[in-house]
Chains A and B, each alone.
Chain A
């Protein structure tokens, strides 16, 4: 019943100009068996040395694979460096991490896996533990039928990456609207979408549909000692630059920004409306010139936030490993 009403209520069924193709997935096409294995590994604390953390401890499926903390929390409650990003649509990304320092998911997953501040895995011990588990032996065999032999770190990262590539989010109320169901969004949400595309807010410039991100780094002037891409690349001209995050499922991933310093979507809009870091005496080289103060009413802030909430996926996977 829940689905019937919007279908009957739809005024039109042709695609709108917002219904745009997604980019190509980066990396190899994941197989079903790889995804299945990757999902199992993702949820299993066996990956951490002391058995206390799984990937899902920080990338919680019900929070669109973020963690709800301002700054990520590592092993034994240790505070890490930056806000935990969502993993939805990560397969489209050319650069990974807030500072864009990795370029493939296979390389990226090794970082939290081996970091002494996070899962702190010892590869040989981990492989041995997996080898001793009959179910994992079977799952690895199915996932990599042509590569006989022992479980390897390479197969493990490939499977985790395959699972991450399967986390596609393209089924939100916004997507229904984009595909022509004009009643899929409320008047306030449609107005929010208009404001989103306005040259007043300029949200769309860095967060265009369908992914609501672009593969570049940008500086918005969050006051922070973190040099982001500048530090990772050694290019001081990019100090204060960070990867542009996707806004898909953004309602589930509060708090916001690389340091989690903004608590709500409304706070984010207000931050931009004040001219981003310009209000906080951040040096102009660390603020994109598209970011400039604009007038916005509380009602408009509400509409914009309401629109962003329509980007929450309705078929999101909430961590049921038996699927």
Chain B
């Protein structure tokens, strides 16, 4: 009898091998969880626009959850199952690797998307709103790519990479979270081209005690737009994160070998960039961590309007206020050509290879890596073309008919964006290009009449790069 059982299970194995990489389509009103139950390694689950009130668990290896995006419509994972009750988690993933694109995830009590202990996390084009503590939370993972996501409303971090290795966090927008993007005890990370605004703290690279992985080393934080992270802290009062004072741009605490370059850091009430040690209160809890930050290199950032109304606890917590604060701890730090020289605490040494230590305004010297969003490829076409060249949109104002599309093409060497917004205030809808490098295109089809004003995020302080318009005539 036992042998029969084994034979049957072998035949299942053959069957399983033969049916990999199938595609399952989930339609509005159907269950994604049921589709996941049927999935085998390699399965792609395509989900049509609609509301899905589910908590998903992915244990099967190599699953793809692909939301079908049709203009403004996309599938929404919604945890608010009644007026009083929210589900705890949007997606919990233990199967490696895992790919997820094109969803909105909202209204969960604990977390949006968490991946636990897996190798290969590929997340892009998610809109994550109000999902409790974290929006996207890879923990003890490796080989992580999170791009083109928009995350808001988290009581902890929008994107939180914990105890992981090899992470690329690029071209995301995080706003109105306590922390925009956090690297906790994470090695070999790149945080680039993100728009991080109106959080309590913008980008946080930290080494915390009591974790399995003890180091946070080798991160590049480059070409991010970090602005107005002054939101009052709404984290849990007893948590580490709940205690951080608002108004900080990029903070490095205890992490080593960090390159901070080409960022635009602006409008933080407390401080623009912080380099410091982990407070004794925390470092004493773990003898195996090295609490000092070492070798943090700050080059060619554009700092403006930071430190003008510091939080009362900022000086104590960050070790300084103003543009750049360094507490004097650690070795091998240097600073080069950041716009503002205002600095509190100890002055940081200049980088040895710095030829332009005077500090002047300059665009990011190393352009962000090529955007991978479907909206920023080079073969997009539109009914009307707008070129971005010599720091202006040409033509600055266009008039089109309903249903026509516009394509923007960047001819400049520096990166630009096409972002909805009036004056200097971005609203991010409906135009939201992400960073366009030279030659990149971004297209949008206009379905409603009206006047659509837009701006360029990195250059909004230049009159030619804001107030541009698309006027869509009523039929």
Residues of A whose CB lies within 8 Å of any CB of B are: 1, 3-4, 7-8, 10-18, 20, 182, 193-195, 197-201, 204-205, 208-209, 214-218, 233, 235, 237-238, 241, 278, 284-285, 287-289, 292, 294-295
Contacts and interface: CB of A to CB of B under 8 A. Distances in A.
Contacts of A294: 110
Contacts of A182: 37
Interface string B42-77: 000000000000010111110000000000000000
A3 B93 contact: no
A220 B287 CA distance: 19
Contacts of B37: 182
Interface stretch (B114-122, B222-230, B312-320, B464-472): B114-122
Nearest to B10: A13
Contacts of A198: 88-89, 92, 110-111
A81 B152 CA distance: 48
9 contacts: A3-B5, A7-B9, A14-B16, A18-B94, A197-B116, A198-B111, A199-B89, A208-B117, A237-B281
Contact of A289 (B58, B93, B239): B239
B285 A237 contact: yes
A218 B41 CA distance: 36
Contacts of A200: 88-89, 109-110
Interface in B88-133: 88-89, 92-96, 109-111, 114, 116-118, 132-133
B96 A17 contact: yes
Contact of A199 (B16, B88, B140, B285): B88
B35 to A, nearest CB: 14
Contact of B211 (A4, A17, A216): A216
Contacts of B285: 237-238, 241
A7 B5 contact: yes
A61 B40 CA distance: 39
Contact of A16 (B60, B133, B241, B281): B60
A16 B39 CA distance: 11
Contacts of A216: 210-212, 286
Contacts of B58: 17
B2 interface: yes
A25 to B, nearest CB: 17
Contacts of A208: 116-117, 140
A146 B57 CA distance: 53
Given A16-B94, A289-B240, 18 more contacts: A4-B4, A8-B5, A11-B12, A12-B40, A14-B16, A14-B60, A16-B59, A18-B94, A197-B114, A199-B137, A208-B117, A209-B117, A215-B212, A216-B211, A238-B284, A285-B281, A289-B241, A292-B238
Interface string B231-252: 0000010111100000000000
Among B236, B239, B285, the one with the most A-chain Cβ atoms within 10 Å of its Cβ is: B285
A247 to B, nearest CB: 15
Nearest to B284: A237
A141 B94 CA distance: 47
Chain B's interface: helix, strand, loop or mixed, by majority? loop
Given A8-B5, A289-B239, A16 B210 contact: no
A268 to B, nearest CB: 18
Contacts of A241: 285
B94 A197 contact: yes
A7 B8 contact: yes
A197 B285 CA distance: 25
A16 B118 CA distance: 11
Contact of B12 (A12, A194, A238): A12
B6 interface: yes
Among B4, B8, B88, B116, the one with the most A-chain Cβ atoms within 10 Å of its Cβ is: B88
A7 B61 contact: no
A15 B61 contact: yes
B253 to A, nearest CB: 15
Nearest to B118: A17
B166 to A, nearest CB: 18
B287 A235 contact: yes
Contacts of B239: 289, 292
A242 to B, nearest CB: 12
Among A193, A237, A294, the one with the most B-chain Cβ atoms within 10 Å of its Cβ is: A237
B13 to A, nearest CB: 5
Contacts of B61: 14-17
B352 interface: no
B95 A17 contact: yes
B454 interface: no
B121 to A, nearest CB: 12
A13 B238 contact: no
B2 A3 contact: yes
Closest 3 pairs between A and B when the two form their complex, measured CB to CB: A17-B95, A199-B110, A199-B111
A215 B37 CA distance: 33
Nearest to B131: A199
A12 B57 contact: no
B145 interface: no
A284 B16 contact: no
Contacts of B55: 194
Contacts of B16: 12-14
A93 to B, nearest CB: 13
A248 B137 CA distance: 26
Given A16-B94, A235-B287, A4 B88 contact: no
B210 A17 contact: no
A199 B114 contact: yes
Contacts of B24: none
A13 B13 contact: yes
A235 B117 CA distance: 31
Nearest to B111: A199
A197 B92 contact: yes
Nearest to A7: B5
B398 interface: no
A183 B60 CA distance: 14
Interface in B241-298: 241, 281, 284-287
Nearest to B241: A289
